[in-house]
Structure 1
């Protein structure tokens, strides 16, 4: 589906997202052909060999530090009856 709509996708990316005129792109046909070739290759050989980087962010360790740093902990309530 994407390979059939490269023109429309490029137009949206250039004109709407980047707010440029598509006429300013001098080598648009070369870019389009390159994208189509890469998409066709991905379609023909869908197995990826890259090893992705997976990051785990320990948010539980971050929140107490933010609370203490910004002094957001609840204030102690002094009660004279104690």
Structure 2
């Protein structure tokens, strides 16, 4: 009884793979310069990057080499490949396809904007000193930039229910690939 269940499960998995995954992987391999095995193993970001490089090559656009940071950086005694996402994560607030020409309803958390307003000086100074590796005194328009950001944050805080056209896009290509696991 267990053997027949295992066989039927294996057959069903094979059928799903041959129907959905196999053609998709080989289709990707025809437009991305990687073998099907590599297409299966690479992340969505790498696949998108490779596709963009192929299109850039066809359009005769020069692509710069990828920046490689120093490999000897550590975080909590672990060697880091990249410092980009230490302690961070990407969160999908709402699933769907959003276009910049179609207005979308947003309901914002006013208290979160209040916190951003309260920490604006600290965050700007961190961006300048740590991320920008500059002295605060070398920024000639600090107050102008700060007041511009503050004005926008206050508007978002005071009008948390809004309808606007989205300007930021995030497409997770991995969600488009059917999985069997």
With normalisation by structure 1, the TM-score equals 0.60
CA 7–56 in structure 1, closer or farther in 2 if over 3 Å, else same: closer
Report the TM-score, using the length of structure 2 for normalisation.
0.30
Q: Which has the higher strand share?
A: 2
In the alignment, structure 1 segments of 5+ residues that lack a partner are 62-82
Matched length = 61
Deviation string, structure 1 residues 6-61 (Cα, Å, up to 9, x no partner): 11110001111121111111010111111111111000011232344563522349
Greater Rg, structure 1 or structure 2? 1
Are 1:55 and 2:171 matched, yes or no?
yes
CA RMSD of aligned residues (A): 2.1
What residue ranges of structure 2 are gaps of 5+ in the alignment? Answer: 1-114
Please list, as runs of the form range in 1=range in 2, the aligned pairs for 1:30-41 lying within 5 A after superposition.
30-41=144-155
* 1:1-82 correspondence to structure 2 within 5 Å: 1-52=115-166, 53=169, 55=171, 57=173, 58-60=176-178
State the distance in 1 between where 2:133 and 2:170 align.
33
Structure 2: distance between partners of 1:48 and 1:54 = 20
- Cα distance between partner residues in 1 of 2:116 and 2:172: 32
- Pair 1:14–1:44, CA change in 2 (3 A): same
